[in-house]
């Protein structure tokens, strides 16, 4: 079975990877809903990440996001690297829910970041780019 799966990848010309948090957990970034996930350890995590919280309590929102969603020292793992290599060969693309920037660090060529990227921040009022470290309100 394993050999045939590898042969399928070797022969494929058009691969689409649909990925989520499980790809980045080996890099030390928690997922959301598993036993040790982000939502498990925080009583109101879904609220803290909501548009309602952003609008009504922006300081709470930004504090929670900065403490729980940024992992600037995380490195791409073998999954990111192998998928990126296939995109660089123009044989694959990645569509990800992940917001952690690891596919960019791995130099993924054909990438759709479905939920955006926490390291590409802009002002909600004027649209100017903002360093993620400075995003506070």
What is the per-residue pLDDT for 41? 66
Residues 101, 117 contacting (CB under 8 angstroms):
yes
115 is catalytic: yes
What is the per-residue pLDDT for 10? 84
Q: Determine which one of 42, 51, 107, 115 is catalytic.
A: 115
What is the per-residue pLDDT for 28? 93
Residues 18, 103 contacting (CB under 8 angstroms):
no
What is the per-residue pLDDT for 44? 83
What is the per-residue pLDDT for 101? 97
* 137 residues of the chain, pLDDT tens digit each: 556 888 887 888 899 999 998 999 999 998 887 877 777 766 788 899 999 999 999 999 999 999 899 999 999 999 999 999 999 999 999 999 999 999 999 999 999 999 999 999 888 889 899 888 776 54
- Contacts of residues 56-60 at CB distance under 8 Å and 24 or more positions apart, as own/partner, are 58/137, 59/136, 59/137
Q: Which domains, and CATH codes, for the chain?
A: 2-29+71-134 (3.40.50.1220)
What is the per-residue pLDDT for 1? 52
């Amino acid at each position: 079975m394993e050999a045939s799966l590898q042969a399928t990848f070797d022969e494929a010309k058009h691969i689409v990877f649909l990925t989520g948090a499980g790809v980045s957990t080996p890099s030390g970034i928690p997922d959301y809903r598993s036993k040790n996930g982000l939502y498990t350890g925080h009583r109101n995590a879904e609220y803290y990440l909501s548009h309602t919280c952003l609008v009504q309590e922006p300081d709470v929102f930004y504090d929670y996001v900065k403490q729980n969603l940024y992992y600037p020292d995380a490195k791409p793992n073998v999954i990111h690297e192998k998928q990126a290599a296939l995109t660089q060969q123009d044989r694959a693309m990645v569509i990800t829910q992940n917001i952690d920037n690891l596919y960019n660090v791995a130099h993924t060529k054909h990438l759709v970041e479905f939920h955006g990227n926490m390291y590409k921040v802009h002002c909600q009022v004027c649209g100017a780019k903002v360093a993620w470290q400075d995003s506070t309100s």
